Amino acid sequence: MFQTFKKLYQANLTTPIGFYRLFASILHSKTNLMVLLEFAARTYPDRIAIVEGTEQISYKTLYQETQQLAAQLQKEYQFLAGQKVALLCKNHIPFVQSLFALSMLGIDVYLLNVAMNTDQFDFLIKKHAFNAIIHDRNGEKLILTSNFKATCIPTHSSTTGYSIRQLAKQEFPNRYHLKKSSAGKLIILTGGTTGNFKTAVRKPSVFNFLNPFFALLNQLNLGNYRSVYILTPLYHGFGVAALLISIILGVKIILSQHFKAISAGQKMRMHQVEVLVLVPIILQRLLQELQEDPNLFEYNKVILSGGAVLNPTLVQKASSLVPNQLANLYGTSEAGFCVMATSNDLVKFPTSIGKKIKGVSIKIQDNKQQELPFGTVGMLCVKSNWTMSNKTTQWIETGDLAYINSSGYCFLCGRVDDLVISGGVNVYPIELEHILLQHPAVWQAAVIGIPDAEYGQRLKAFVSLQTKSILSASELRIWLKGKISGPQTPKEIVFLEQIPVTSLGKIDKKKLS
């Protein structure tokens, strides 16, 4: 408790003036997300809040413009509490302003994936009947080929009406009464690799946000740092959580709409980035770039990886090249952030996702919903007061197979629908993937189950190679001998130029067959 209080004090959150600012922000902005931005503007007014490309904006200006945006959306578009507005954007300042302004008005905000296809988009339009969509150029392409006929507001420029940038810079008259509201719902898409997306609905609460915040503050010392580069999409739960935590800490947030390792490295040096927020595939590419640029991580102190499985080969490589920096955050759209492995945890258990954070309960259960003992593989279930249900009494089934050891560390064994039963033996494709990735010529690996007349199912491995590497299937089979059991032996090995991944960096197994 003392350490928590000390870290909060260092982050200006438990000083008398800090308490006053937070209390005043809650009174003024109610309990919507704008509380966090108002607190940051009161506490760190002149600090740079966001840098995106050649643009930058201070916390004071970000707050003022977001208030103006909320007023203009209410005045010009009659946005009211309870309406549904979708954000169809990549990472930039107008996205952030729109998110907070809509929350201030009590709007239900839908964070949409710009990489979805037209059929998926039309399905969401029909199902949710959005009152409006705020979009950038990436999202505009989807809208033009869709059936959406309601209000569309571009983020950056418009020849026919207002843009978010224009609205945010328009001062509203002092006599104008802005109708504020408690936060609406925050809806994040989940699934959608093939078929249609599901939605994870969460009622954002400043108070429910505190336990995940304390976990990061205590175990990773995030309050000590002043710059964070968010390289994961803000429309994903991991990205938006990183944004909110960064804002309450008053750090400089670097955003990019597109990722390229060379330009990312330039930004890391230019802004002396101390904290990276990314998915494993981006970490893999940055570590590869490190071979060309030894000073790439010169200022970096913490790497937060999440959104996809972090394989042990990548963990060991990061631990060697950038020691004591990597942490793995596990969560789902429905369950939120719930399990964390620090750099020390990953040194001891490279295959673990860590331990549950304070305020979370986890268990492993079988298909009859009976809790399983330590070391037994089953469905990972989570409950906390910041899950999709916002109920501490309701368990969320994550869809992930896992086990917990006697020390409380959790280990993933893949998705429930990834499980392969070969000759009556449970085989977990993730285990073969981890072994394949240990081969020095292998860049990526994915394993699926395929039908087999003799065993019922066998494994099929897909492999992509490191640049300039040469490896045959027979050579790889020889290398695997002694490293795997009989049921883990792949029936087929297929070499691909690149393993397909989703827009969030997860391997897209639905595209493999």
Rounded mean pLDDT of 435-464? 96
Beta strands in 279-322 (DSSP E): 302-305
Calculate the average pLDDT of the chain. 88
pLDDT in the model for residue 180: 67
User: Confidence class of residue 223 from pLDDT cuts 50, 70 and 90?
Assistant: confident
Residue 236 clears pLDDT 80, i.e. is over it: yes
pLDDT in the model for residue 393: 63
Q: Mean pLDDT: which of 218-227, 332-341, 483-492 is highest?
A: 483-492
pLDDT in the model for residue 219: 86
Rounded mean pLDDT of 311-328? 95
Q: State whether residue 445 is helix, strand or coil.
A: strand
Task: Determine whether 473 is exposed, middle or buried from the number of CB atoms within 10 Å of its CB (0-12, 13-18, 19+).
Answer: middle
Architecture of domain 419-511: 2-Layer Sandwich (3.30)
Residue 14 clears pLDDT 80, i.e. is over it: no
Of all residues in the chain, what percent carry a pLDDT higher than 70? 87
User: Confidence class of residue 7 from pLDDT cuts 50, 70 and 90?
Assistant: very low
pLDDT in the model for residue 349: 96
Fold assignment, 30-41+54-202: Rossmann fold (3.40.50)
Among 9-13, 96-100, 151-155, 484-488, where is mean pLDDT lowest? 9-13
| Cα-only R_g, the chain | 23
Residue 313 clears pLDDT 70, i.e. is over it: yes
Of 179, 229, 228, 187, the C-alpha closest to 204 is 187
- Domain residue limits, the chain: 30-41+54-202, 210-417, 419-511
Question: What's the predicted TM-score (pTM) here?
Answer: 0.90
Residue 90 clears pLDDT 70, i.e. is over it: yes
Q: What is the 3-state secondary structure (H, E, C) of 176-245?
A: CCCCCCCCCCEEEEEECCCCCEEEEEECCCCCCCHHHHHHHHHHHCHHHCCEEEECCCCCCHHHHHHHHH
Residue 25 clears pLDDT 50, i.e. is over it: no
More confident residue, 172 or 373: 373
pLDDT in the model for residue 171: 86
pLDDT in the model for residue 13: 54
383-418 per-position pLDDT tens digit: 987 776 555 568 999 999 999 999 999 999 999 989
Structure tokens at 244: 């909110």
Of 344, 273, 333, the C-alpha closest to 308 is 333
Architecture of domain 210-417: 3-Layer(aba) Sandwich (3.40)
The reply to whether domains 30-41+54-202 and 210-417 share a CATH topology is yes
113-131 per-position pLDDT tens digit: 998 889 999 999 999 999 9
pLDDT in the model for residue 157: 83
Q: State whether residue 52 is helix, strand or coil.
A: strand
Q: Which residue shows structure tokens 């699934």?
A: 191
